[in-house]
Chains A and B, each alone.
Chain A
Amino acid sequence: MISQGARHVVLELQDIHRYFGTVQANRGIDLTVKPGRIHGILGENGAGKSTLMKILAGYLPMTRGRILLDGTEVRYASPNEASSLGIGMLYQDPMDFPMLSVIENFMIGQVSGVASAGETYRRKFSELVQEFDFTLRPDTPVHLLTIGERQQLEILRLLSIGARVLILDEPTTGISTTQKEILFSALKKLAAEGRSVILVSHKLEDVDALCDTVTVLQDGRVSGAMDQPFDSTTLLSMMFGAPPESSRHIHRPTSQTILRLDNVSAAGGRTGLSGCSIQVRRGEVVGLAGLEGSGQGVLLRVAAGLLRPRKGTIHLDNHNMTHQGYHAYRKAGAAFLPASRLEEGLIRGLTITEHCALQQQGRSFLVDWHEAHAGARKKIAGFQVMGSPGSVVESLSGGNQQRLLLAFLPERPRLLLLENPTRGLDLESVHWVWNHLDAYCEQGTSIVFSSSELDEILLAADRVLVFFEGRIIKDVLASRTNVMELGRALAGRV
């Protein structure tokens, strides 16, 4: 009944390029999606999946390339135009209106005028809900729904405006197993009706359970494709490529425990953190792996005193810090480096010298500009920052901002908590940074860091923790594992 008028289409992407400044997120991607199929797009963090899908959904313009529907080229510049062509997308962060009710969310964009169309849409909505066996009630405010239910709502809305191609970006993150089953059966039903479904994921199990065919992206290019039945080993090698030959950094952890978390749960991020227990020893480097937002960030923030845990206890150097705030953690020697550089790390409008002066933390009334200036010079030279002491931080490039942030870490911390510390740096700089951080370990500092690059984690860490859905599902020595095994764990297969 709802498939009336939903003509089935073949969607083709040809030679799609997208640059962000000098970063090439997509470099020449070709993709054909056939009607009635569930098409998986696989790839690790930063492979270019999200960018490609946002282009397809009209949310981002492409730098170069063509999109064809049934062989005719189509051009569109907004999500609204894309959905009028029948292309609809479910974003990773739901693009809905949390404070409004379910039925209102369903109606926004479909209705106009002064006359209330509520009854018509309520009927339409309840028909769709029944058809898919969802349990949505029209009058619940959306902020009370789970992520899974918000997805269901969005799917129904896209169907009601006539979506023929449905894109889902990492839909299974943060939703329960039952909801996943409901989602999957709904998607299968849609494909059976002749629609195309594009599933962006990096979880092999999802792809296995659902997809008819898979295209793998790596570094902004198509690195391979495969039809059912899938072979995980081949897919993983397409995703991660050949492991690079590089020597691991070796540290000598002592047996003394610096940081101890016991059964800590906390809210935050997409999944929160649940029942996490870890111990970090003096001089040890622990790498946190996982899809972005699987709980690594929450763990780092809890350990830095920035988030209060809901449950569990935290010990730093055997002192119970559970109920302390950030400043107490700081005093106790924990230093935190945030991932968002200009949002949390650096202060827009302040120069490098001014940042150095802030860092001095002296009790003196006057700023020692002389010392701050000298400090800035030293940091610029030492960390190879392209800039001068008088440069405001927002004028620096991303990589230089990252180096600067590292330069502002305190000199003798007990514990470094680093969120994506080498994001935006080239491989050489990554090595350089880790050599620098190794020096910290030599003096007995412990490091916990998160990274989206498995290579980096294997290169730098002594121990690896893999996060999945807010839980630690693997805790292994870096010397006893490899990219394949970690990739498997990242995809939910321990």
Chain B
Amino acid sequence: MVMKQDKTDSRSTTKKRVFLEYVLEAVLAISLVLAFTTVVLLIAGAPPLQSYVHIFMGSLGSWIRFTHVIKAWIPLVLCSCGLLYTFRIGLWNIGVEGQVVMGAIFTTALMRMGTGTGYPSLVLLLSCLAGMTGGALWALGAGYLRTKGGVHEIFAGLGLNFVAQGMVLWLIFGPWKRAGIASMSGTETFERSLWLPTIETLRISPAGIGIALGALLITAWMLRYTNVGLRLKAVGNNAQAAYLFGLRPGKYMLIAMILAGSFAGLAGSMQVTGVYHRLIPAISSNYGYLSLLVVMLANFNVWITPLVALFFACLNVGSIQLPMVLQLDSSLSGVMQGTMVLAALAVHFIRSRLRAAYTGGT
């Protein structure tokens, strides 16, 4: 009885300690980030404090701005969900960027066919499915190159990203060019009935948010309760032992890629149907690459991912203010996001060192 008491006591103190540690780590990491970006801002000759205020107000300063944050959050969450599968099996799916683009291309293709058919909801639904297919196919390409072609997934994915980007440009300037002149502004805007429905007064799309939340729930559920989720983890942690347990590592790599590609493709569909309502050259807005950072910073945890994604979306949207107000480039957000991941990695190391020292170390 006494023993049990002791145990729960020590458990709650450990919990408290773990929580405190996390807070401390977060504070440490954020101060590292602020220190670095302040130096960068000073080098650029910009007023640091003012810049931070503009980023903050630019993202959370008004409802309209916050709706922009949400619009960025949706694709980030979708891509991150996909990456959770590939990271779980130990793959670096850098190709996520191209998978978003492919999703957007497939979506646009279907919407072009569906324009004027009179069944807008059906067309929207089908084009989202097409987007998922496009992303999945592109991911499968990288997956096959890895499992059958022996090309590292980083090179395979990256190469395919450039190809997808080239395809978008070709389509915009070639077969899908706007009547009259082709330009960087993209293809013809779709008719309003083919836009992802939004609540006009709130300016947000419940469908988009629903899809993002749904993706999170499905991913959490997949990873926790399904055999696929368990086996991805098994192969990722020890492919040799998983093989001895009777699994085929190559097969599960392809499954992970297909899942990741589907989610990324869906993100592309959201960009087309919910944000731009057409295909533009920068349709992916770099959200694919950015979501790799999101997942790393969230330490591959499903539930932390949406929070980090929200934070990153705020930085992205907020930093758009910088060129308008301070004549600075908006890429500061990227610098902050990258520094944040590096700081988190450094702090992570310090934590494991301290913990090792605390427990006597091995």
Instruction: Please list the residues of chain A having a beta carbon within 8 angstroms of any beta carbon in chain B.
Output: 326-327, 330, 336, 338, 343-350, 354, 357-359, 361-362, 364-367, 369
Task: Check: B201 CB closer than 8 A to any chain A CB.
Answer: no
Q: Are A361 and B246 in contact (CB under 8 A)?
A: yes
Q: Are B227 and A362 in contact (CB under 8 A)?
A: yes
Given known A-B contacts A365-B227, A367-B226, A358 and B243 have beta carbons under 8 A apart: no
Q: Are A350 and B243 in contact (CB under 8 A)?
A: no
Q: Are A358 and B234 in contact (CB under 8 A)?
A: yes
Output the nearest chain A residue to B239 by Cβ-Cβ distance.
Answer: A347
Task: Check: B335 CB closer than 8 A to any chain A CB.
Answer: no
Given known A-B contacts A326-B243, A344-B240, A350 and B233 have beta carbons under 8 A apart: yes
Q: Are A338 and B244 in contact (CB under 8 A)?
A: yes
Residue of B227, B243, B248 ringed by the most chain A CB atoms within 10 A: B227
Number of chain B interface residues as a range:
20 to 34
- Chain A residues contacting B226 (CB-CB under 8 Å) are 365-367
Specify which of A327, A336, A343, A359 is in contact with B248 (CB 8 Å cutoff).
A327
Q: Are A347 and B230 in contact (CB under 8 A)?
A: no
Q: How far is the CA of A357 from the CA of B229 in the complex (A)?
A: 11
Output the nearest chain B residue to A365 by Cβ-Cβ distance.
Answer: B226
Q: How far is the CA of A326 from the CA of B246 in the complex (A)?
A: 8
Where chain B touches its partner, the secondary structure class is helix
Task: Check: B207 CB closer than 8 A to any chain A CB.
Answer: no
Q: How far is the CA of A34 from the CA of B132 in the complex (A)?
A: 76
Specify which of A330, A344, A347, A362 is in contact with B237 (CB 8 Å cutoff).
A347
- CB B260 to nearest CB in A, in angstroms, measures 19
- Interface residues in B194-247 (C-beta closer than 8 Å to A): 225-231, 233-234, 237-238, 240-247
Residue of A338, A343, A346, A367 ringed by the most chain B CB atoms within 10 A: A367
Q: Are B244 and A345 in contact (CB under 8 A)?
A: yes
- Chain B residues contacting A361 (CB-CB under 8 Å) are 246
7 pairs of A and B residues whose beta carbons are closest in the complex = A347-B238, A349-B237, A347-B241, A347-B237, A344-B240, A358-B245, A347-B234
Q: How far is the CA of A349 from the CA of B230 in the complex (A)?
A: 11
- CB B302 to nearest CB in A, in angstroms, measures 16
Q: Are B245 and A348 in contact (CB under 8 A)?
A: no
- Chain B residues contacting A336 (CB-CB under 8 Å) are 244
Q: How far is the CA of A364 from the CA of B234 in the complex (A)?
A: 17
Q: How far is the CA of A347 from the CA of B246 in the complex (A)?
A: 13
- CB A281 to nearest CB in B, in angstroms, measures 26
- Chain B residues contacting A350 (CB-CB under 8 Å) are 233-234, 237
Q: How far is the CA of A343 from the CA of B239 in the complex (A)?
A: 10
- CB A211 to nearest CB in B, in angstroms, measures 39
- Chain B residues contacting A369 (CB-CB under 8 Å) are 225
Q: Are A330 and B227 in contact (CB under 8 A)?
A: no
Q: How far is the CA of A369 from the CA of B229 in the complex (A)?
A: 13
Q: Are B244 and A367 in contact (CB under 8 A)?
A: no
- Can you spell out 22 A-B residue pairs with CB atoms less than 8 angstroms apart? A330-B246, A336-B244, A338-B244, A343-B238, A344-B244, A345-B241, A346-B238, A346-B241, A347-B234, A347-B237, A347-B241, A348-B238, A349-B233, A357-B227, A358-B230, A358-B234, A362-B227, A366-B225, A366-B226, A367-B225, A367-B226, A367-B229
